[in-house]
Homo-oligomer: A and B are copies of this chain.
Amino acid sequence: MEFQTKIGKSEPDKIFVHGYNLTEDLIGNITLADMAFLGAKHRKPTEKESKMLNALLVAICEHGFTPSSISTRLTYLGAPESVQSAVAAGLLGAGTVYLGAMEYVAEMLHHAFEKYGEGYPIEELASLIIQERKENNQQLPGFGHPIHKPEDPRTGKLFEIAEDLGFYGKNSKLLVEIHRQFCEQKGKTITLNAVGAIGAIMADMEIDYRVVKSFAVASRAVGLVAHIVEEIELGRKNSVGQEIFDYIEHHTDYKGKVETQKS
């Protein structure tokens, strides 16, 4: 049995990663985010691709206090010896509810072009997708935001960069058109959120929709570093994890029975 991989190979004085000599071609020449691109596309990104990808991952890296980052802090409180556990616990909360939409957008756009072909006029394609979703009782992903209304400030910025760098393609255009028609039908402006924009731009960068979520997860791992740092700097006693725990402990209302019920 031989386990095959295209990822890497180590010799005593050389290391190859994704076909490149690590010390000659990669270290000092590419950014951390490009390593994920290399993994997904098996080639180094162009300068424009690298710029776009870093912009996208910077945009979703940090979200303040979320269930995910709070779990990181609480886990660090319980296991400060093991920062990898704190990061891992944070990632585990980044499931369908918080990171799903990015993948769903990329998937929706992928299947739209796969099913209806490239040549279809974008207005009709958008209309078909909306109709299909309605019929199947499926939500349109990428729309709505609890805070950023009526616009998500990141969305405009990311599409602007995408246009500058040549990544505002058919997928982004289709999502924007779906958004336009959807708002028209609803009679009000619903936010086209950053996660939606990122899903579309990644599709325009020809990143496989099945990989999109992994990029998001990697980005969140980077973002969680700041939360661990803040806990370290605050010190155990004053850490946010400790304060959250204290608050909950002192604001718990026990609703269960309390009589002894001998069996």
Contact = CB atoms under 8 A, between A and B. Distances in A.
B67 A35 contact: no
A244 B254 contact: no
Interface stretch (A17-25, A113-121, A169-177): A17-25
A183 interface: no
A89 B64 contact: no
A128 interface: no
Contact of A19 (B11, B156, B241, B261): B261
A107 interface: no
A260 B26 CA distance: 10
Interface string A22-46: 1111111111111110111010100
Contact of A253 (B3, B54, B161): B3
Contacts of A259: 19
A88 B3 CA distance: 23
A13 interface: yes
Interface in A50-83: 51, 54-55, 57-59, 61-68, 70-71, 74-75, 77-83
Given A1-B251, A62-B8, A88-B91, A256 B16 contact: yes
B39 A229 contact: yes
DSSP majority for the A interface?
A: helix
Interface residues of A, number: 132
Given A1-B247, A81-B96, A214 B229 contact: yes
A79 B71 CA distance: 12
B252 A3 contact: yes
Interface of A: 1-36, 38-40, 42, 44, 51, 54-55, 57-59, 61-68, 70-71, 74-75, 77-89, 91-99, 147-149, 151, 153-154, 156-158, 161, 208, 210-211, 213-215, 217-219, 221-230, 232, 240-241, 243-245, 247-249, 251-263
23 contacts: A4-B252, A5-B255, A7-B226, A7-B230, A9-B256, A12-B147, A12-B149, A16-B257, A21-B261, A29-B263, A31-B32, A32-B57, A32-B222, A33-B33, A67-B245, A68-B78, A71-B71, A77-B97, A85-B85, A85-B88, A88-B88, A217-B221, A247-B247
